[in-house]
Every structure is written in structure tokens, then in C-alpha cells.
Amino acid sequence: MDDKLADEPARLAALRRYDLLDTLPEPAFDRITNIVQSALQVPISAVSLVDTDRQWFKAQQGLDTHQTARDVSFCAHAIGARDVMMVPDALQDDRFAGNPLVTGPPHIRSYLGAPLSTPDGYNIGTLCAIDTVPRAFDERHQDVLENLAALVVEEFELRMIAQRDHLTRVLTRRGFLAEADRVLQAGGGALLLLDIDHFKAINDTFGHPAGDLVLRAVAEQCRAVLSGRGLVGRIGGEEFGVVLNQGDCAMRVAEELRAAIAALVIPHEPPLSVTASFGVAMATADLSSGEAWLAKADIALYAAKRTGRNRCVLNHSV
């Protein structure tokens, strides 16, 4: 068996590098699932990412859910091979005959899934076509799905290149603002803007390589503390932003991040430690863009720095 198909920890690491799980819909992937529906004449199509214990849909047509358990997922079987997986009749297949997705909604009877294989060879999910009647998909259908699956992975790669800061591996300013725009459109949420206190002194005293160590450590600490609750971006220099889908816990999360950064001991000779100041702004109806939201958080950040640093300030304006 292909070693990379059997290496589940490495496969999950490859999936997480793209930072796609639990992100909002994006037109590029919706267009591809629409093409699958039209070209293969199926009622259901999806870009499915197979996580530890679930499959999550980055895009889907004909489904009323964004995820299912992994143990009932057809796609979890499809990622175990390099070729397209076809199930002409689920009720005649021992693997799926008793599956609740077959015996109940959405009543899957036939399935075609092309693995989403990363450039380094890990299958992180599938592009799939599903029908509610038995059917054998022909060679042309399989070729179409494989080609579109390759386009999905290319979109993943382009998205990562355009949106990832090369030093810290968090979102670029552009990528962060795109996420902020999507959260605003969805309603609710909060934006945190943080600035590393006295960062210039680190560069002046220890040099820019030490400054880079600090930036990477702060970015990684933010990601670890958030643990999927929000996305981190490098806004510029020593400034980072965090966008949360839920706003009601914003100040608590900001305090968690502030304390975690203050507790960091960054390997260096001598070891380095830093603090950060935070400005917090809630999503409000008057905000027209991520840029406007960022500016609102920046007002609160300035207040945090002016009143002593290493603290979190909420912008109370509506």
C-alpha cells in the first residue's frame, strides 16, 4: 500500500496546512460543485474534507448539512486510494448497505468520488457526485470529476499562497481582510487587533533574526490558544489580527491571548519574552468592510497602548 495513504497523522497535518476547515463558503468552490451537478447530472455534489472524526463540506449542492460523522462518510473510503471510487448501488455494497445516509436522508444510492490529492501526495478529501438512484458513471464522468478535483486542489494552493504570510504562516493582511469581510456578511463576530509591545527594542538589541523568532512564536501561540475559534492574520510589521465568528466571548478570548503571549519564553540566548496590547471591536451594522472594522479595532488598540500597554481595550462605539 502507498505509505502516504496509510499515514493518517501526516494526512491530517496536510489538511490543516490549508486552514480550510470551518471557513465560510467561497465562490470558486461553489462554481466547481455547480459544474459537477450539471456535467454529471446529479442532485448532490460536494467538496468534502475528511477530518479526524468528521467530513466537512467546503462547498455543497443538494445537501442541507455542512458536515457528517466520518464513520458514515463515503469520502472517508475514497481517500484510501489514488483512483476515483465508484459505488453504482449502495444497497448492493456491503460497506454501505446499512449506512444511515443510504437508508435515510439524503438517500444515497450511487456515488463517485475523486480524491483531493495534495502536491506532496496526501488525500485530504474528495470532490464527489451523488445520486439518489442506482447508476454506473461512465469513463467520461470519471475523467471530468478527476480534472475538476485537480482544479479544487489548485484553488487550495492559490488560496494558501495568496493568503499566507511567509514568515509566520498566518493569514496575510489581504487574506485576513477577506475573512473579516465574510464574517461581517454572515453577521456577528468580533475583530481583535494586537501589537507586540516595544518590538523595535528587540530588533535593535538582538537583531532582526531575534525579531523574526518573536513574530513566529506569537503567531503560533495565538493559533494554539484559539484552537479553531478564530483566524489569525499578520496585518503588518508586529501587528496581528484575530477574527472571531462569535462576538460574545471577544474580551475573554483577548485576555486569554494576552496572558498566553505574556507567558511565552522564546528560545534564544538570552531567552526572550514579550507582551502585547489589544484593541477589540464588535461587528456592527454600520461597518461596510473588513478595513472599516480594522480601523475601529485600531482606535481601541491605540487606547490600550496609551494607557500602559499589555492590556485589552474594547471599542464601545456603535
- Please indicate, yes or no, whether residues 107 and 229 belong to a single structural domain of this protein: no
- Please indicate, yes or no, whether residues 153 and 282 belong to a single structural domain of this protein: no
- Please indicate, yes or no, whether residues 76 and 115 belong to a single structural domain of this protein: yes
Q: Could you report the per-residue pLDDT of 23-67, keeping only the tens digit for each?
A: 888 999 999 999 999 999 999 999 999 999 999 999 999 999 999
233 forms bridges with which residues in the sheet? 171, 241
Q: Residue 10 falls within a domain, yes or no?
A: yes
305 pLDDT higher than 90: yes
- Please indicate, yes or no, whether residues 151 and 205 belong to a single structural domain of this protein: no
> Domain boundary residue among 162, 181, 201?
162
Q: Residue 36 falls within a domain, yes or no?
A: yes
Query: What percent of the chain is modeled with pLDDT above 90?
Result: 83
Q: Residue 168 falls within a domain, yes or no?
A: no
18 pLDDT higher than 90: no
- Taking alpha carbons only, the member of 12, 30, 227, 231 closest to residue 118 is 12
pLDDT at 1: 56
Q: Could you report the per-residue pLDDT of 78-132, keeping only the tens digit for each?
A: 999 999 999 999 999 999 999 999 999 999 999 999 999 999 999 999 999 999 9
Q: Could you tell me the residue range of the domain that residue 308 belongs to?
A: 173-314
CATH code of residue 266:
3.30.70.270
Which pLDDT band, with edges at 50, 70 and 90, does 248 fall under? confident
pLDDT at 318: 54
pTM: 0.63
> Domain boundary residue among 139, 162, 185?
162
Cell numbers found for residue 80: 484510501
Q: How many domains does the chain have?
A: 2
Q: Residue 80 falls within a domain, yes or no?
A: yes
- Please indicate, yes or no, whether residues 152 and 29 belong to a single structural domain of this protein: yes
Residue 266: CB atoms within 10 A of its CB come to: 16
- Please indicate, yes or no, whether residues 125 and 273 belong to a single structural domain of this protein: no
**Would you give the end-to-end CA distance of the chain in angstroms?**
59
- Taking alpha carbons only, the member of 215, 274, 264 closest to residue 240 is 215
Q: Residue 167 falls within a domain, yes or no?
A: no
Q: Could you report the per-residue pLDDT of 171-204, keeping only the tens digit for each?
A: 999 889 988 998 888 888 999 999 999 999 999 9
Q: Residue 97 falls within a domain, yes or no?
A: yes
CATH code of residue 29:
3.30.450.40
- Please indicate, yes or no, whether residues 113 and 207 belong to a single structural domain of this protein: no
- Please indicate, yes or no, whether residues 241 and 143 belong to a single structural domain of this protein: no
- Please indicate, yes or no, whether residues 70 and 191 belong to a single structural domain of this protein: no
> Domain boundary residue among 126, 141, 162?
162
- Please indicate, yes or no, whether residues 260 and 210 belong to a single structural domain of this protein: yes
- Please indicate, yes or no, whether residues 211 and 154 belong to a single structural domain of this protein: no
- Please indicate, yes or no, whether residues 154 and 182 belong to a single structural domain of this protein: no
Cell numbers found for residue 68: 457528517
